[in-house]
Chain A
Amino acid sequence: MTLVALFTTAIELTSAQRFLLMLPLCLSLAVVYKTIRLEDVRAIPAASLILSATIVLAMCAIAVGLWAVFSIMV
């Protein structure tokens, strides 16, 4: 019953927690992508970490760029 309650009861999140939860989602995305792309399975962990870091950094860069554009225009 406790196990069922884990999936029927929502967790209350703050805005900061919401953004932090982006990190594991990026990691899982990178792991699956690299798993189906790489022929050598031993290379998957390192490649996944690099790809997830790249995704996060790229999103941060886009956010900073959009913030700069917004600051200039407004």
Chain B
Amino acid sequence: MALVPPEPATNPAAVAYAPRNALLTGPIAGFLAWLVPGLGHIYLGHRVRGVVCLVTITVTFWTGVAIGGVQATVDPHERSFWFMAQICTGGNTLAAYGLHRVVEPQLAAGQRPVAALAHWLSSEVGVHYTGVAGLLNLLVILDALGRADAPSPKRTRRDHPPGAPRP
């Protein structure tokens, strides 16, 4: 069986396909996936998959915040269990909680607009959207961790170029 000849080390493509540190790839991919949905997949070379997850989860999360208002939606004190789900979309939830903290002093000072007091239907829908976005990102994080152990698509193409016999 003919084997694919190894590429020379000076080939830029070979450098790009060099295997990453196996011990760090999983944790880095998982952390990136937690911080920004889909970034773990992009880091692993699954660009389309990562971008789809990034757009879908981010839009879902911020749609929920827009529907319910940040005060009623991202609230670790009043909705602690939902916040545990929301925090799975790390960066989004931290940004929303930062906005929550910015708006809170206005509430204390009585400057909060009446419309910010969410109708219970709105706040429930908003919490569901953000919570589901968080749980979806948990799936994405687990998938990124699983794919970190598998060969990346780049390496697969390098190992099996089109037309070359497979070992």
B121 interface residue (CB < 8 Å to A): yes
B113 interface residue (CB < 8 Å to A): yes
6 inter-chain pairs at a CB distance below 8 angstroms, sorted by A residue, are A8-B116, A10-B119, A12-B115, A18-B125, A21-B67, A36-B143
B13 interface residue (CB < 8 Å to A): no
**Bound state CA distance, A54 and B114, in angstroms?**
39
- With A10-B68, A41-B49 known as contacts, the answer to whether A29 contacts B99 (CB < 8 A) is no
How far apart are A42's CB and chain B's nearest CB, in angstroms? 9
Interface residues of A (CB under 8 A from B): 4, 6-15, 18, 21, 24-25, 28-29, 31-33, 35-36, 41, 44
Asked if A28 and B68 make an inter-chain contact with CB atoms under 8 angstroms apart, the answer reads no
**Bound state CA distance, A22 and B110, in angstroms?**
34
Asked if A36 and B99 make an inter-chain contact with CB atoms under 8 angstroms apart, the answer reads no
**Bound state CA distance, A24 and B60, in angstroms?**
8
- With A35-B49, A41-B49 known as contacts, the answer to whether A7 contacts B62 (CB < 8 A) is yes
Q: Classify chain B: how many residues form its interface, as a range.
A: 35 or more
- For B136, what are the chain A residues with a Cβ–Cβ distance below 8 Å? 28-29, 32-33
**Bound state CA distance, A3 and B122, in angstroms?**
19
Contacting residues of chain B (114-167) with chain A, CB-CB under 8 angstroms: 115-119, 121-126, 128-129, 132-133, 136, 139-140, 143
Q: Quick one: which of A6, A14, A18 contacts B66, CB cutoff 8 A?
A: A6
Total A-B Cβ pairs within 8 A: 92
- For B60, what are the chain A residues with a Cβ–Cβ distance below 8 Å? 24-25, 28
**Bound state CA distance, A35 and B139, in angstroms?**
11
- For B123, what are the chain A residues with a Cβ–Cβ distance below 8 Å? 10
Asked if A7 and B53 make an inter-chain contact with CB atoms under 8 angstroms apart, the answer reads no
Contacting residues of chain B (52-71) with chain A, CB-CB under 8 angstroms: 52-53, 56-57, 59-60, 62-63, 65-71
Asked if B116 and A10 make an inter-chain contact with CB atoms under 8 angstroms apart, the answer reads yes
B94 interface residue (CB < 8 Å to A): no
